[in-house]
Amino acid sequence: MQLTKETFDLLDRIENELEPIFKKISRIALQNQQSMLDAFQAERIGTHHFQTTTGYGYCDLGRDALERVFARVFKAESALVRQQLVSGTHAIACAVLGNLTPQDELLIGSGFPYETLMGVLGLDADKLETISATAGFKVRVVPLLSDGSINLSALTAAINERTKMVLFQRSCGYSERPSLSLDRLEPAFTALKRKNPTAAIFVDNCYGEFVETKEPLEIGADLIAGSLIKNPGGCLIPSGGYIVGRKRLVEKAAERLYVPRIGGAIGPSLVNLQLFFQGFFEAPHRVGEMVKGAALAAKLFESVGLKVAPLPDAIRTDIIQKIYFNKADALIAFCQAVQKNSPVESDVLPIPAEMPGYVHHVIMGGGTFISGATSEFSADAPITPPYIAFLQGGLSYTQIKLSLAGILQSCYQSSTR
């Protein structure tokens, strides 16, 4: 597609308006990059750590060093960073199921979780509590307030001596609620610890890593987990997940992933670890580029009359940008335009389809070098009202800018809005 001067002039004007926001994002990225550099240097990372291993994976020096770097960066006692974890949901499931027994209770403090986790826990959208069919523990959901904030009084009233873990989902998932900043989470963590000091606070950290200058463990969380093909992978790590936090909680998760009494001592690095080290090192910069791209997208699509959330000048806690449409066809056309303006498989036409773990048909647009990597430029959406595209990621700000320009022309010159 030939991009017009009018399109670039619009983008240039919007960029000028966003310059103060971009400077703040760059400062956050710089601070997070410094923490990353310090961790690599403290662990004396060298090329000898980049080797693969096979078999059981005993004494994998590179894997162990990578986990020490993760622990330093996230300010944790221990880390489990494994190629055998295939998604964020898989990592979260291991953390929950590995640490809870039928005598325990899981309290969810951020409303209903992401759709794939609903299936893991056996939750239905019309039930606020259930018994997990997977492991037999009790699950209770504390809904958010009408403005999307944490219902602190209800949450502290709900926690009891049986509650062994309280789960928070940092990002919005496929919901309209705002993502939860660390400033909003910290008072909840403090209140919960005061009421039940032994309950572990666990944060689904997907999409939130390196967007702020702190991570959840620094404000009172005990455990976090996420995917390596999202923020912490730096658009280079080809697969995997991480679980980071208190040592005993991480080891229980490792025993769920592998086997009891052996846990994290096994697990070979079948893929060259250089990609894992380099991807993690680049993550703060890449995330900064993604957040700038999200702000640009918000301002751009707001300028053509679409509802967006967060707003362009919002302080962000994750990389997700919501864009609202008035009908399904417009939403589908937008996600197809994302695919068309991607570097890989731009000639492929995505269509809504059933997806394992999801209630509604879902469309996923984005030609990515790593299959399904939402850290690269992508948009996905359930085909149900309100019709929201969840846009995120990007290899670089320049790529995001060019792709957004192409999407603008694709969608608005053909009247698909």
417 assigned to some structural domain:
no
Domain with residue 201: its CATH number is 3.40.640.10
In a domain, 39, yes or no: no
Residues ≥6 apart with Cβ < 8 Å to 406 = 1, 3, 337, 340, 341
Whole-angstrom Cα distance, residue 310 to residue 99? 34
148 has pLDDT over 70: yes
Residue 45 located in a structural domain = no
Q: DSSP 3-state assignment of 324? A: strand
d(CA 85, CA 76): 19
Are 225 and 305 members of one domain? no
3-state secondary structure of 397: helix
Summary mean pLDDT of the chain: 95
For residue range 361-380, what is the model confidence (pLDDT) as tens digits? 999 999 999 999 999 999 99
Whether residues 377 and 396 fall in one domain: yes
Task: Return d(Cα 144, Cα 338) in angstroms, integer.
Answer: 32
Q: Indicate if 99 and 245 belong to the same structural domain.
A: yes
C-beta of residue 7 within 8 angstroms of C-beta of residue 407 = no
* Distances, alpha carbon 159 to alpha carbons 75, 162, 301, in Å: 26, 8, 42
Cα–Cα dist 262/89, whole Å: 23
Verify that 369 and 222 share a domain, yes or no: no
Same domain, 170 and 292: no
- Position 1 scores a pLDDT of 66
- Identify the weakest region by mean pLDDT among 87-101, 137-151, 373-387, 401-415: 401-415
Contact 338, 404 (CB under 8 A): no
Give the residue from 272, 301, 319 where a domain finishes.
272
Write the CB contacts of 46 (distance below 8 Å, at least 6 apart in sequence): none
Residue 42 domain flag: no
H or E element: which one contains 308?
strand 308-309
Regarding whether 105 and 250 lie in a shared domain, the answer is yes
Percentage, residues of the chain above pLDDT 70 = 98
- Same domain, residue pair 238 and 338: no
Q: What is the pLDDT of residue 133?
A: 75
* The pLDDT of residue 417: 41
The b-or-e profile of 35-45 (16+ CB within 10 A means b, else e) is: bbeebbeebeb
243 with 310, same domain? no
**pLDDT average, residue stretch 96-104:** 96
